Amino acid sequence: MSTKISPLINPNELLELHASQKIILIDARAGIGAEENYKKEHLKGAGYVDLNHDLATITTEPANGGRHPLPSFEKFSKTLSNLGIQPSSHVVIYDDKNGSNAAARFWWMLRAVGHEKVQVLNGGLQASIKSGFPISSEIEHFDTVENYPIKEWQLGLADINQVETARNNDEFIVIDVRDKNRFDGLTEPLDLIAGHIPGATNVPFSENLDENGFYHAAEILAKKYTEVLGPAKPENTIVHCGSGVTACHTLLAMDYAGIPIPKLYVGSWSEWSRNDRPMATKENN
């Protein structure tokens, strides 16, 4: 009988684990210059995974699936194979944004294909360096293993039509984890139109973290999200962001809090706002 491990691992725990066990450590920094920054400095032994190339299949039309649609099972299986990841592997993922960059997205994807031993580094790259974890500029390569067996996404997903139905149903809750200014339609740095899905509840993912950039304690998060969900069941909860990446930060927080992982709307605002769907701002919510 397997014992579920925490979705988070603290820097001191990673130091002990790295010294005593075989783990697969992955750098999941994303954004401009992320791979170059990895090449300059990363946690010793860490391989690199690219959000756009490995954790998504980018298309020319975000109206169909958003800016970061999930990759095919075949593509994701090959990515895991190239990283040396097998079903029994213990995988630890980090980024430089306290899990909100792509570390939590990779965590969700692994959990969604049934992988159990996967954790995100609490506090991220900076906290681990501060704890004394060795750094390196050596590019890490893993021995390719057999393609990872993937049959389905085992965690809940919602499509645009299910979100449309849910937002008008009092038994459901749609959570938008983007920052308040984006939700209110005051600014939109990434997508074409500012605003939010009418009926959605804004719970910024940044509220999952304390002043030091670590996740709040599980009991604090449990209290918070129990209040947010109210009478809605986790299976009637849909979480989204701009393109299905930072939403995974909140899914991880809820899992850490002991709440069953809700559904992820991968297309998120980047898909919704390009499909002539109802939209709201602070002024017309």
User: Which residues neighbour 222 within 8 Å (Cβ) at sequence distance 6 or greater?
Assistant: 257, 258, 259
Q: Which of 43, 169, 22, 160 is nearest to 94 (CA)?
A: 43
- Contact of 93 with 28, CB cutoff 8 Å: yes
DSSP β-ladder status, 135-136 and 91-94: unpaired
Helix 247-256 vs helix 218-229: angle between axes, to the nearest 10 degrees? 110
Burial class (CB in 10 A: 0-12, 13-18, 19+), 63: middle
Report the run of H or E that residue 105 belongs to, with start and end.
helix 103-112
- Select which of 24, 25, 200, 241 is catalytic: 241
Give the tokens for residue 122: 């609490």
Locate all alpha helices (DSSP H) within 120-233, ordered by sequence: 124-130, 160-166, 180-183, 218-229
Q: Which of 261, 28, 280, 55 is nearest to 158 (CA)?
A: 261
67: helix, coil or strand? coil
C-alpha to C-alpha distances, 54 to 103, 144, 151, 194, 197, nearest whole angstrom: 12, 15, 18, 28, 28
241 is catalytic: yes
Residue 144 DSSP symbol: -
Residues labelled catalytic: 241
